[in-house]
Structure formats: structure tokens, C-alpha cells
């Protein structure tokens, strides 16, 4: 008989974030003066942000979104099925940070509907013995897709619980046979200004030097928790959530989980990630969730959990070290000053 011992980081299904809240995260950093304890006033053009937290489930979805998601076959990962409450799917789809489509929380939902993910290719290169390029179907056929319920903590001090679908990044890296000199992994988002309006306009895209870049140490990348996601809530990813494939690193702030990935490069040097390049004093390379290290402009001691109800009904809860995954990942940082290397 198999006896399962649940880890402290496991979430109950009743704790997962609703699907429609998750979709619009990154824009608040530059457009709103966010603090850990207050909700800022917004311009009339941003009023739609508040509507995303409405209890009305009968309202129509944004008419600009035409992307059709499809169901995926998957296995439930027994080690990651105890999160609760789950964030509603509608909120995950409509509340996002994805500056490639605009800096407003609702912009990705509004403007990503025509985003094309077919054809798509993902290249793994750099310090590997077997550089490979896989298409989207390869990802679904070569790897076992499983559901993992993970916490997601934004650097802006809000959070969700999300049922991701995907596979371990370690299995993909193993396929490419890393060389011994490989110490870091660099990730790159698609660059396509014709499809991604923010990439073609500094005003719309927040002044970022695209394409979006992220990086991990190799030992972080091959940690069992690190996921390449191809879906959530039982279906393929929507464009605003990073279709067709994105990274999910649950013990780090959400901006590390890069979306719409086209290239993964193994290297011997630490990549400079996009937000680290823009504001190195605010966004470090590691970006581990740490309630003891405040953002220069707000506290990280607590977070606003996005679940059922409207925007002002969201509850605050204490932020956990490594977002609650300390048992699984703390050993990766033994002897490292996490206040200096934030």
C-alpha cells in the first residue's frame, strides 16, 4: 500500500486562484503606485480592472478575444493536489501582466485574442551536446502532461493559486544533454511586433527593450518544481497567459515565469533578465519570494490573495518564505545572503 505524506507546501484544491484573475500582472509596476496595504486610484481608462473582479459570471467575455482554447489530456500530480482555494479561472484569464500586449492589467485579455501560436518552435541550444528544436506537437507528445496546483506570488504583492498543466523543465534539458560547463539557463520570449503590440510601441509596451529575457541557475531549472506549462484549468494556455508554452517557478516572484518562450539557452554566465536590466535595485536575478526583503516601494510581508469576490473583497495573508516551498528549495541557497542576492 502506498502511503502519501503531504508536504507543507501542498495546497488544497479549495485554495486555488480563479482562472480569470491570473491574467494581468506586470502592468501595475509602472502604471500604478501600488502599496502593500492600499488599492490605488486609477484613470478612467483603467476602470475595467475593477470590473474583472465582479461576481457577475453571466457577463460576456471581452469581444476582442477570439482565441479558442482546447482541452488537454493530463495526469494529476499527486504531490501537488492539495492547494485551496483555487483562484477562479475567469480571473486568471483577465488579470495579467504581459507588457507585450500592453501595460494595463486588462490589456493582454483585450489585445491578445488574435495571437497565432501555430506554427511554433522552441529551440534548446548553447552549452549542450544535442541542440534541438521542437514544435508544439512535439512538446505534447514527448512529455507526460500533468496538473500541478501551485501558488503564484507577484512582486506587486498579490497572489493566486493556479492549476497548471505542463511537464518538468528538467526532462527537456536532459534531452539536450547539457555540457559540464553549463551553469545557467537563459529564456527568451517570442519577438513579433506585428502580433505583440507592446513590442512595436514604447508607449504601449512600457519602454522595455524586447524580446523579454529571463534566467535561472541550472540547479534551479532542473529542480523538480520547475515547470514548463502548456495549459491551465484543464485546457491549453490562452495567449495572455503565455501560450503556447511558458515557465512556472513557484518559489520565485511571478515575473521570473517568462511567457511565450521560443528559445532556451544553456550558458556559463548568468543572464541579465529584463526587469533586472531596467531596475537592478528593485528586481534581482534570484527574485525568490522573501517576506523579509521589501521592495523599495512597498512591503513584501503580506499579499492580497485573488480569489472569489470583487477587488475590494480580496483578503490579505502573510507571505511565506520561498512562497511556501521552503522545504523543497531552501537547500539551493545554503550560505547565500538572500538580502544581498535578492
Distance from C-alpha of 283 to C-alpha of 155, rounded to nearest angstrom: 9
pLDDT of residue 197: 97
Instruction: Give per-residue pLDDT as tens, 230-288.
Output: 999 999 999 999 999 999 999 999 999 999 999 999 999 999 999 999 999 999 999 99
How far apart CA 27 and CA 90 sit, in angstroms, is 18
Predicted pLDDT at 9:
55
Q: Which cell goes with 4?
A: 502519501
pTM attached to this predicted model:
0.83
Residues 302-318 have pLDDT tens digits of 999 998 877 666 778 99
Q: Which residues contact 271 (CB under 8 A, 6 or more apart)?
A: 184, 185, 186, 187, 213, 214, 215
Nearest CA to 257 among 233, 289, 279, 294?
289
CA 200 to each of CA 102, 113, 172, 243, 271: distance values in angstroms, whole numbers, following the listed order: 11, 17, 31, 19, 24
Shortest CA distance to 101 belongs to which of 12, 23, 180? Answer: 23
pLDDT at 313: 65
- Tally the residues of the chain: 342
* Structural domains in the chain, sorted by start: 14-333 (3.90.420.10)
C-alpha cell at 31: 502604471
Tell me which residues of the chain have a pLDDT lower than 70.
1-67, 311-313
DSSP H helix total and E strand total for the chain: 10, 15
pLDDT score, position 310: 74
Please tell me the predicted confidence (pLDDT) of residue 315. 78
Q: Report residue 19 as a C-alpha cell.
A: 482562472
Amino acid at each position: 500500500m502506498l502511503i502519501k505524506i503531504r508536504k507543507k507546501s501542498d495546497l488544497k484544491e479549495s485554495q486555488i486562484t480563479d482562472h480569470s484573475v491570473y491574467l494581468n500582472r506586470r502592468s501595475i509596476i509602472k502604471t500604478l503606485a501600488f502599496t502593500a496595504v492600499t488599492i490605488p486610484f486609477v484613470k478612467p481608462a483603467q476602470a475595467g480592472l475593477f470590473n474583472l473582479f465582479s461576481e457577475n459570471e453571466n457577463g460576456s467575455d471581452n469581444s476582442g478575444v477570439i482565441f479558442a482554447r482546447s482541452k488537454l489530456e493530463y495526469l494529476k500530480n499527486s504531490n501537488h493536489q492539495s492547494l485551496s482555494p483555487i483562484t477562479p479561472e475567469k480571473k486568471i484569464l483577465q488579470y495579467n501582466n504581459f507588457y507585450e500586449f500592453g501595460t494595463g492589467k486588462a490589456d493582454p485579455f483585450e489585445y491578445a485574442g488574435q495571437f497565432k501560436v501555430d506554427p511554433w518552435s522552441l529551440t534548446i541550444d548553447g552549452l549542450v551536446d544535442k541542440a534541438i528544436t521542437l514544435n508544439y506537437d512535439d512538446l505534447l507528445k514527448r512529455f507526460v502532461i500533468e496538473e500541478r496546483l501551485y501558488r503564484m506570488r507577484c512582486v506587486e504583492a498579490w497572489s493566486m493559486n493556479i492549476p497548471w498543466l505542463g511537464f518538468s523543465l528538467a526532462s527537456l534539458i536532459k534531452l539536450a544533454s547539457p555540457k559540464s560547463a553549463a551553469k545557467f539557463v537563459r529564456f527568451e520570449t517570442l519577438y513579433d511586433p506585428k502580433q505583440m503590440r507592446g513590442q512595436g510601441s514604447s508607449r504601449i509596451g512600457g519602454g522595455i527593450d524586447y524580446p523579454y529575457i529571463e534566467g535561472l541557475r541550472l540547479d534551479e531549472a532542473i529542480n523538480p518544481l520547475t515547470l514548463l506549462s502548456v495549459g491551465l484549468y484543464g485546457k491549453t494556455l490562452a495567449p495572455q497567459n503565455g501560450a503556447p508554452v511558458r515557465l512556472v517557478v513557484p518559489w520565485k516572484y511571478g515575473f521570473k515565469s517568462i511567457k511565450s518562450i521560443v528559445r532556451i539557452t544553456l550558458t556559463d554566465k548568468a543572464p541579465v533578465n529584463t526587469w533586472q536590466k531596467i531596475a537592478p535595485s528593485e528586481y534581482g536575478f534570484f527574485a525568490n519570494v522573501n517576506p523579509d526583503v521589501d521592495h523599495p516601494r512597498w512591503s513584501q510581508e503580506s499579499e492580497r490573495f485573488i480569489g472569489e469576490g470583487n477587488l475590494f473583497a480580496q483578503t490579505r495573508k502573510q507571505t511565506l518564505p520561498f512562497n511556501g516551498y521552503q522545504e523543497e528549495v531552501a537547500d539551493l541557497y545554503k550560505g547565500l545572503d538572500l538580502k544581498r542576492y535578492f
